[in-house]
């Protein structure tokens, strides 16, 4: 216990949770001027999206169609699925979006689907009652379900999942995102798993240009070559390009050069083979250049598990109660909080979750990005 206490104290000291005196005076980049979180798909995924939608519609005569989408962490699986999920061609479908994550819990998946398809929170905990409720919701409907970030590879668990969602009198499309190719192969039915391929270096450069406001810069010709080299370091991963692009906003020539030559690109910092080194390196670079006043707000988010949906106002009030945010002469505490939220979204450290709970439509929900925060924090 003494050793653990000492380790926690050292981590706390290294994290620098206390805001610097001048942090409230810093001007933050306005994330509203940046492109949305689907920019990488506008750049490089539209053709893929069209092919996938066509194959899903062609297979709609089947009672259940499961399409696994797999690829490395940060490649854009979730965002790609969201584009399909929100496409007008599926407007007539009842929809549910479930974040599965490492801990596979069939009951929670079932309850989440029920609450979204029935447009109300299901209070039943008995397994047979919950299963009965789902059985009543499925018949005679066209339904689209996204199971995001599936890790479970036990074939019996996956069979239980498919059995739970199958119904003779339904037309059900299920999109599954996973980093594991073996999981994708085990969960698929009539559709072959689809592997998300890396973007080209030019596509990553397009993302960085949009995120960094490159087109409006007077020194853009001096920065072009540097930016292209930084884009090459992203190795085709959209998340890396998004985060770095936002970080480069407002930086001068010398700072762009520092990002380009940073030693972090040479270090082996990722222990997860499904999250390549260049992805975590780009995120850590973004964190290192983050405004001091923003760091404690982001670091505090480590208390939430990956993929956890957070009501924006709840997070904001926790920041305020902990003293992370102080009002300035120009901005109130709430105005600063809104800017911080937009900053973290711009950096792709927080993502807006699909508004699947109809009773929560007026409330902005946020969820963590795809990288494992605990590993990031330990570095």
Task: Tell me the C-alpha to C-alpha distance, in Å, between residue 206 and each of 6, 46, 213, 227, 376.
Answer: 46, 15, 11, 10, 26
Tokens linked to 45: 């995924």
pLDDT of residue 240: 87
SS3 143: strand
Pick the more confident residue, 171 or 183. 183
Q: Which helix (H) or strand (E) holds 375?
A: helix 373-378
* Per-residue confidence band for 377, with pLDDT thresholds at 50, 70 and 90: very low
pLDDT per residue as tens digits for the range 81-108: 998 999 999 988 889 999 887 888 888 8
pLDDT of residue 164: 85
pLDDT of residue 24: 44
**What value does the mean pLDDT of the chain take?**
77
pLDDT per residue as tens digits for the range 284-302: 888 888 888 888 998 898 8
Q: How many CB atoms lie within 10 A of CB 286?
A: 22
Q: Which helix (H) or strand (E) holds 68?
A: strand 64-70
* Per-residue confidence band for 170, with pLDDT thresholds at 50, 70 and 90: confident
Residue 180 has pLDDT above 60, yes or no: yes
SS3 82: helix
SS3 215: helix
pLDDT of residue 208: 92
Q: Please give the share of the chain, as a percent, with pLDDT higher than 70.
A: 77
- Under 8 Å between Cβ of 337 and 320: yes
* CA-closest candidate to residue 97, choices 162, 167, 174, 163: 174
Least confident of 80-84, 263-267, 337-341: 263-267
Residue 1 burial (10 A CB sphere; 0-12, 13-18, 19+): exposed
Q: What would the mean pLDDT of 6-34 be, rounded to a whole number?
A: 52
* CA-closest candidate to residue 241, choices 193, 190, 207, 276: 207
| Torsion angles phi and psi, residue 109, rounded to 5 | -60, -45
pLDDT of residue 12: 63
Query: What residue spans define the domains of the chain?
Result: 2-36+200-378, 41-195
pLDDT of residue 275: 56
Q: What would the mean pLDDT of 45-72 be, rounded to a whole number?
A: 85
* CA-closest candidate to residue 376, choices 294, 288, 293, 289: 288
Q: What would the mean pLDDT of 335-363 be, rounded to a whole number?
A: 68
Q: What would the mean pLDDT of 254-269 be, rounded to a whole number?
A: 81
* Per-residue confidence band for 69, with pLDDT thresholds at 50, 70 and 90: very high
* Per-residue confidence band for 369, with pLDDT thresholds at 50, 70 and 90: very low
Locate all alpha helices (DSSP H) within 29-76, ordered by sequence.
39-44, 46-58
Backbone angle region of 340, left / alpha / beta, with phi > 0 → left and psi within -120 to 50 → alpha: alpha
CATH superfamily of 41-195: P-loop containing nucleotide triphosphate hydrolases (3.40.50.300)
| Torsion angles phi and psi, residue 71, rounded to 5 | 165, 170
pLDDT per residue as tens digits for the range 312-326: 888 889 999 998 888
* Per-residue confidence band for 148, with pLDDT thresholds at 50, 70 and 90: very high
Q: How far is CA 338 from the centre of its chain?
A: 19
pLDDT of residue 367: 41
DSSP annotation of 172 reads: E
Residue 274 has pLDDT above 80, yes or no: no
pTM: 0.70
* Per-residue confidence band for 23, with pLDDT thresholds at 50, 70 and 90: low
Residues whose CB falls within 8 Å of the CB of residue 246, separated by 6 or more in sequence, listed in order: 29, 31, 34, 211, 212, 286, 346, 347, 348
Residue 229 has pLDDT above 90, yes or no: yes
Cα 79–Cα 134–Cα 77 angle in degrees, nearest 5: 10
SS3 277: helix
Q: How many CB atoms lie within 10 A of CB 222?
A: 12
């Amino acid at each position: 216990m003494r050793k653990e206490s000492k380790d926690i104290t050292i981590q706390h000291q290294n994290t620098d949770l206390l805001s610097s005196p001048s942090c409230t005076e810093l001007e933050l980049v306005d994330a509203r001027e940046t492109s949305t979180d689907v920019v990488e798909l506008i750049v490089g995924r539209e053709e893929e999206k069209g092919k996938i939608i066509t194959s899903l519609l062609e297979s709609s005569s089947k009672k259940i169609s499961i399409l696994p989408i797999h690829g490395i962490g940060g490649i854009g699986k979730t965002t790609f699925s969201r584009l399909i999920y929100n496409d007008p061609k599926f407007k007539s479908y009842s929809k549910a979006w479930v974040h599965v994550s490492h801990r596979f819990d069939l009951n929670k998946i079932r309850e989440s689907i029920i609450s979204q398809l029935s447009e109300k929170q299901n209070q039943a905990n008995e397994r047979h009652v919950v299963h009965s409720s789902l059985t009543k919701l499925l018949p005679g409907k066209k339904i689209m379900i996204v199971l995001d970030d599936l890790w479970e590879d036990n074939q019996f668990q996956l069979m239980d999942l498919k059995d739970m969602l199958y119904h003779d009198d339904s037309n059900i499309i299920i999109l599954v995102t996973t980093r594991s190719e073996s999981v994708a192969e085990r969960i698929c039915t009539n559709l072959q798993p689809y592997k998300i391929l890396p973007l080209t270096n030019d596509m990553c450069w397009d993302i960085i240009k949009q995120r960094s406001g490159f087109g409006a810069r007077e020194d853009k010709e001096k920065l072009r070559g540097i930016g292209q080299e930084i884009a090459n370091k992203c190795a085709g991963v959209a998340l890396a390009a998004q985060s770095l692009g936002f970080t480069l906003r407002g930086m001068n020539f010398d700072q762009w050069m520092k990002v380009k030559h940073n030693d972090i690109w040479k270090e082996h910092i990722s222990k997860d083979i499904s999250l390549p080194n260049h992805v975590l390196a780009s995120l850590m670079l973004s964190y290192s250049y983050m405004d001091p006043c923003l760091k404690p707000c982001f670091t505090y988010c480590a208390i939430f598990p990956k993929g956890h949906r957070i009501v924006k106002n709840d997070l904001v009030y926790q920041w305020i109660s902990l003293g992370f945010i102080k009002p300035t002469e120009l901005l109130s505490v709430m105005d600063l909080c809104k800017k911080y939220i937009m900053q973290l979204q711009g950096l792709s450290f927080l993502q807006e979750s699909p508004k699947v709970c109809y009773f929560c439509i007026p409330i902005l929900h946020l969820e963590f990005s795809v990288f494992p925060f605990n590993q990031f924090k330990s570095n």
